[in-house]
Structure 1
Amino acid sequence: MTFTLATWNINSVRLRAPLVCKLLSEEGPDVLCLQECKSPVDKIPTEEFAALGYTHMIARGQKGYNGVAILSKLPIEDIGAHDFAGLGHARHIAGRLENGVTIHNFYVPAGGDVADRAVNDKFGQKLDYLTDMRDWAKDGGLSKSILVGDLNIAPREDDVWSHKQLLKVVSHTPIEVAHLSDAMEAGDWHDVTRADIPEGQLYSWWSYRAKDWDAADKGRRLDHVWATGDIAASAHSSRVLRAARGWQQPSDHAPVFATFDL
């Protein structure tokens, strides 16, 4: 079985439903994982997606913020969600495909503006969330699993436009990168995107603050596709759909794709 998966922080699934439909109709991934849906589950425009062949959806939602969803052409079973760090946020959903592959869709907290938990509770929550992800992975005996989502960390030097200038900026600080690395190691997770695209600058997010995001190109790779070691070698054809960042009323994130032969 070969299937293509995409992950996208949509920054409001209701506001940007036309963009979701554009992606589904033009790119046709078998599975699309969305983050920051900002909608209760019953308000997600599922009819529009079903009309394009995405008749299966599992989701967790909240009004106005957070929220994760998995849209699928393939049957997918809702196998639950975990409240990492006990925040009470809709930031995780897990589904299992008929071939036994489990997909974990994550929206890790952004962490606020100051990289110091002593003065910024949001940064502390982010670190606690990542620690809980590590412990969950260590205890979970994960196998035949894919983890995707907006992890809100750009771990490598070439995952940001300037490693030196961003070392103290939330999303690229050494403590965040270390926490993410610990979670990855605990679950035997492998970075599918960088396995396919090992060299060079690679981004999936560009700030709304830039007058011309494309020309400035001050991006960060915040959106990730991982797979457990037992299936990581089956992944290929990774790419970032940079063009989506330039669509009308876009999300500040671009979709990230990978294909799996399982």
Structure 2
Amino acid sequence: MVEVTRKLVELLDLAPIGDDHFQGQSEDLGFPNVFGGQVLGQAMMAASRTVEGRLPHSMHAYFLRPGNHRLPIDYEVQRVRDGGSFTVRRVIARQQGKEILFGSVSFQVAEDGFEHQLDMPAAPDPDSLKSEQDWAELLVPHVPEELRETLTRNRPIEIRPVNPVNPLKPEKLPPRKQSWLRAQGTLTDDPVLHRCLLTYASDFSFLATALNPHGVTFMNRKLQAASLDHAIWFHRDFRMDDWLLYDKDSPSGSGGRGFNRGNFFTRDGVLVASTAQEALIRLRS
């Protein structure tokens, strides 16, 4: 495991601070607030710490307030139900006593059943693509100096976008995005860790799918954008240290909100997880 990935794994490794209460540290990714994927991944880890013998199969969460990346986050887990096949946990994330996220995580025993899935869409091989970090290096001479370190930082999740958008010269495009992603280095075999890491990574470039049709990027100073909610479903086992295709679309934008959907496929076409998110997207007057 490379050092930058080890730090992310440690970020998800919450400290117990009481019965069904945990605390996680925050990281600064150069965003104004805590990265939403971090809070989602830590919340799923907190819930998983109160369940044995079952893996999370879905999570539904609402973002209530922006998080401060300079402060730790406290997670309270509430035991809603322990059934014969399913277990449900409610999770509340707080900073300085104020709720920044609440959600629910459902767990299931392993069992067999009907099998079907969508076909994997066409996509170029990840080995033929540049990483986001490679593209960022090309932008460095054209962005303010205070942004350069953020753009070129070493990242635990390597992302290779298909048809990347130039944030300095945006154009109107169909509401669809694709990217390959994986954790750098080799991870342990803990399936909970792999699911928490995918939850963390599922928030990267998701919101921007709804911006494609409008020719707007995060470099636009008038843009006000924030995730409102986030859901993820796990269908089959996978490894985060192997390439996964993240295929995203945005069926609708209205009322200052953009709706996004996503599917994760392995290189051999197996659908392993799906996501959905609604986000605030509007231009300040």
For the criterion TM > 0.5, the same-fold answer is: no
**Radius of gyration: which is bigger?**
2
TM-score where L is the length of structure 1? 0.34
Task: Return the structure number with greater helix share.
Answer: 1
TM-score between the two structures when normalised by the length of structure 2: 0.32
